[in-house]
Structures are given as C-alpha cells and as structure tokens.
C-alpha cells in the first residue's frame, strides 16, 4: 500500500492541477463572452453551452469512468473498449441532436441562435469522445499525458472562441468555430491513441454495446440528472421571458455549471482513490472529501451572499439587469451541490445509485411542476432550484450520516464538529474580509 502512495498522490496532483487550469481558462472565456456579446446573443450562446454539457453527459453516459475502472484488463481490451465507447457516444449523442433539432427549431429564437445551438451540440460529440480518449490514457498510467491533452483542448478552444466572439459577435460563427476546433482536437487525440497502441480492429455488435451501456447507465444517469436541473431552468427562462432578462439568468447558470464541473472533477479525482483504498480506510477518505468540499465552497458562499450586488456592478456585467439578485442564488446552489456530490459518491461507492437517480428524477419533475405556474418569475425559478438541491442533500444524507457513525467515528464526532466550527469561523473571517476588500468601490 505504501509503495503505491506516491504514485497515487502524483496522479491526484496532475488531475487537480489540470482541472484548476481548465476552470480558470473556462472562467476567462465566460468573462470574455459576456464582454464581447450582447445580452440577447449571450442568452442563446450560454443556453447552447449549458445544453452541450448535458448532451456530453448523455453521450458519454459515464463511459470514461468505466474505462478507468477497467484499468487492469490490459491494453488490448482497453483498445476494444475505446472503440465501443466511441460508437456508443456518437449513437447516444446523435439521438440527442435529433431531439434538439425537433424542439429548438420550433421555439421563438433567432435563426443564428438555433443554428448555434445545433452546431455547438454537434461539437459536443467530439468533445465527449476526447474525454473517453483521455480516460483510456489514464488506464495505462499516462495521467500526465491525459492532463496535457486536457490543457491543450481547453487552451485551443478558449482562444478560438474568444477570437471568434471578438471578430464577429455572432452566435452562428461561434457555433461553427466550436465544431471545427473540437473536430481538430478529436483527430489529435486519435493520433495520440495510435501512438500508445490504444486503437485496434473492432467489429461492432449490438449485444456488446447494450452490455456496455447497461454497466455505465446508473452513474451516467446521476450525472445527467444533476446537470438537467440547471439546464431545464435555463430553458424555461429563455423561452418564457425576453432574451435580455434571460441573459442575466443564464450568466448565473453558467457560473453554477462551472462550479458543478469542479465538483465533478473532484469526484473523478477522489473516487479512484476510494476504490483502491482498503474498505476500512474508505470512510476516513470520504469524511475528508466531505470536509474538503465544504471548505472549498465557503468563499463562494460569502462572495455571492454578501457581495452579489458588488460583483454585478463590475463594468463587464453592468449591462445584465437584475444580475445581482440572480447571483445570490449561487450562495446556496454551489455549497448544496458540492455537498450533494459527496453523497452521490458514497452511494456510487457502495452500488446504491438507484437512490441518487430516483432523488434527482423526482426533484427534476418537481422543478417542472413548480415552474409551470402562469405567474412564475425568473427569481422564483431560481429559488425552486435552491429548494430542489436542499431536498437532494436532505434525502441522500439519510444513509450517509448513520454510515459515518458506524465506522468507528463516534469518539471523533465531537472533535470533528469542533474542528469544522473553528475552521469555518477562520475561513469565513479571512475570506469575507478579503472579498470585502476586493469588491469595495472607491
């Protein structure tokens, strides 16, 4: 166990470092788009991007994590699994594109916006294939190569998207540029896989594809339902209210989705460690994961709870009306999602994902029913999302809390609670003062 610890830590460092840079560049791209695009255009572009995250999850269907879990099967078997995963990815993604075409092209959106949504989501099929390729590299312990490919992809796509937005400020051109750049990145990944002999001959079989889908579907369903809640809220606001207002709401959704992707990156970093850890050590790692997630979201809570209006008054955001109100939702949504993510990791670790799937499905239905009222406002839709995430945490915690008490943590609960309380006060004090200093206007 001790001999493998340095390798595990090195892999965690590579993935956390790459994920951090990925998120920084994504945030910079988002800020650039808010500056170069008009609120009405940004509303359609941001909805297309949020929808693409959902399409990517449906297309990939948990395949990258399944490939990582099969790391001991050997290079030849992984190469065969890559082909199967790619094929399943494009089949599932194509079904999503047909559904998008059938729904979006009957909505009251601009023609540029409709085509941008279709082009960006077509590019998503190549992007999700690239994630599958990176997972294959991880199975042969090329985590650094996986991280470099991730950084190459986000850097190239960010530069192209920002340049296109600056040059044309057209949703259609942005969609076309997205499709071209991710197609190029896909071929680059293909060359890397050939170099490491992760491509082999493949004869497709419906039985093998169905067996693969059945294996990955539970985890994929959890990811899809998690992402479906903000995407549905974005769609409701975009189609029921004017685009200027939808631009402000969707900017909040974009920030939320960025936080959700960070939470997913932590999941994908900690879960392999939990799987490889001894069963008696897993509860301690899970408790550490819970605390780590908790402390990560304290600054976000303080920023959006106390300084939402100050953030909305920054020059690049001033054209987005009511943004300050919508940003306050993030003070609740981001921490709740991070804590919920820890719970879903626990259920996944012990093969009880049906509870997570059922909970998120009921919350999604509940959001649709609550938002179906005639007099509903965008602010109310935002609060429905907050209530839904709180329900998710409450339901999933029913099994996690007793589990932590049963694994010899009874004597440590008092010390743990005191440590959490003191650390929260210190973190809150430093973070709030730092944020107040940063957002104080002269």
Which of 116, 140, 249 is CA-nearest to residue 196?
A: 140
pLDDT of residue 212: 73
Based on the domain organization, do 168 and 233 belong to the same domain? no
CA-CA distances (angstroms) from residue 216 to 67, 68, 208, 274, 358? 10, 12, 13, 18, 16
Based on the domain organization, do 228 and 185 belong to the same domain? no
Based on the domain organization, do 200 and 275 belong to the same domain? no
Residue 209 located in a structural domain: no
pLDDT of residue 14: 58
Which of 246, 232, 233 is CA-nearest to residue 108?
A: 246
Based on the domain organization, do 198 and 239 belong to the same domain? no
Residues 6+ away with beta carbon under 8 Å from 155? 25
The domain boundary residue, chosen from 174, 204, 234: 204
Determine the Cα–Cα distance for residues 439 and 442; give it in Å rounded to an integer: 9
Token readout for 405 is 């008490």
Determine the Cα–Cα distance for residues 325 and 27; give it in Å rounded to an integer: 20
Based on the domain organization, do 390 and 431 belong to the same domain? yes
Based on the domain organization, do 178 and 90 belong to the same domain? yes
In the chain, which residues have pLDDT < 70? 1-20, 23, 61, 69-76, 141-143, 201-204, 268-269, 272-273, 275-284, 351, 400-442
Determine the Cα–Cα distance for residues 339 and 344; give it in Å rounded to an integer: 9
The domain boundary residue, chosen from 204, 233, 262: 204
| Structural domain containing residue 144 | 1-204
Based on the domain organization, do 15 and 98 belong to the same domain? yes
Based on the domain organization, do 198 and 305 belong to the same domain? no
Token readout for 185 is 């990145």
pLDDT of residue 74: 60
The total of structural domains in the chain comes to: 2
Based on the domain organization, do 199 and 223 belong to the same domain? no
Q: What's the predicted TM-score (pTM) here? A: 0.71
Residue 302 located in a structural domain: yes
User: Cα 33 vs. chain centroid, distance in angstroms?
Assistant: 19
Q: What is the largest CA-CA distance in the chain?
A: 67
Q: Say if residues 146 and 134 touch (Cβ distance below 8 Å).
A: yes
Based on the domain organization, do 186 and 303 belong to the same domain? no
Residue 210 located in a structural domain: no
Based on the domain organization, do 246 and 189 belong to the same domain? no
Helix (H, G, I), strand (E, B) or coil at 433: helix
pLDDT of residue 180: 92
Determine the Cα–Cα distance for residues 386 and 336; give it in Å rounded to an integer: 8
The domain boundary residue, chosen from 171, 204, 237: 204
Residue 129 located in a structural domain: yes
């Amino acid at each position: 166990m001790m001999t493998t610890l340095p390798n595990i830590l090195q892999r965690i460092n590579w993935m956390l470092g790459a994920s951090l840079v990925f998120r920084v560049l994504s945030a910079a791209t988002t800020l650039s788009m808010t500056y170069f695009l008009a609120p009405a255009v940004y509303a359609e572009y941001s909805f297309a991007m949020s929808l693409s995250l959902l399409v990517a999850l449906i297309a990939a269907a948990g395949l990258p994590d399944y490939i990582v879990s099969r790391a001991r099967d050997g290079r030849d078997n992984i190469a065969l699994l890559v082909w199967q995963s790619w094929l399943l990815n494009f089949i599932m993604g194509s079904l999503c594109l047909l559904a998008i075409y059938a729904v979006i092209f009957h909505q009251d959106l601009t023609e540029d916006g409709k085509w941008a949504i279709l082009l960006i989501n077509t590019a998503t099929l190549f992007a999700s294939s690239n994630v599958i390729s990176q997972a294959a590299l991880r199975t042969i312990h090329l985590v650094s190569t996986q991280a470099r490919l991730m950084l190459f992809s986000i850097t190239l796509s960010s530069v192209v998207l920002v340049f296109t937005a600056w040059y044309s400020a057209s949703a259609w051109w942005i969609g076309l540029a997205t499709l071209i750049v991710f197609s190029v990145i896909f071929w680059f990944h293909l060359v890397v896989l050939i170099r490491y002999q992760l491509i082999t001959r493949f004869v497709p079989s419906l039985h093998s594809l169905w067996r693969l889908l059945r294996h990955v579907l539970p985890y994929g369903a959890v990811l899809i339902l998690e992402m479906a809640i903000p995407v549905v809220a974005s769609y409701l606001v975009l189609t029921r209210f004017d685009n200027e207002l939808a631009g402000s709401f969707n900017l909040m959704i974009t920030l939320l989705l960025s936080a959700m992707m960070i939470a997913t990156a932590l999941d994908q970093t900690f879960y392999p460690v939990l799987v490889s850890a001894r069963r008696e050590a897993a509860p301690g790692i899970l408790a550490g994961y819970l605390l780590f997630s908790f402390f990560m979201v304290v600054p976000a809570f303080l920023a959006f709870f106390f300084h939402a209006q100050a953030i909305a008054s920054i020059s690049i955001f001033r054209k987005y009306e009511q943004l300050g109100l919508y940003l306050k939702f993030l003070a609740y949504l981001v921490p709740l999602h991070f804590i919920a993510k820890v719970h879903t990791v626990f259920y996944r670790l012990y093969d009880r994902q049906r509870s997570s799937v059922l909970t998120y499905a009921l919350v999604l239905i509940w959001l649709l029913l609550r938002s179906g009222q005639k007099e509903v406002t965008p602010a109310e839709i935002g609060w429905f999302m907050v209530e839904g995430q709180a329900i998710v945490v409450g339901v999933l915690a029913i099994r996690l809390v007793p589990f932590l008490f049963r694994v010899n943590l009874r004597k440590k609960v008092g010390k743990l609670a005191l440590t959490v309380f003191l650390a929260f006060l210190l973190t809150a004090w430093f973070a709030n003062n730092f944020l107040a200093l940063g957002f104080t206007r002269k």
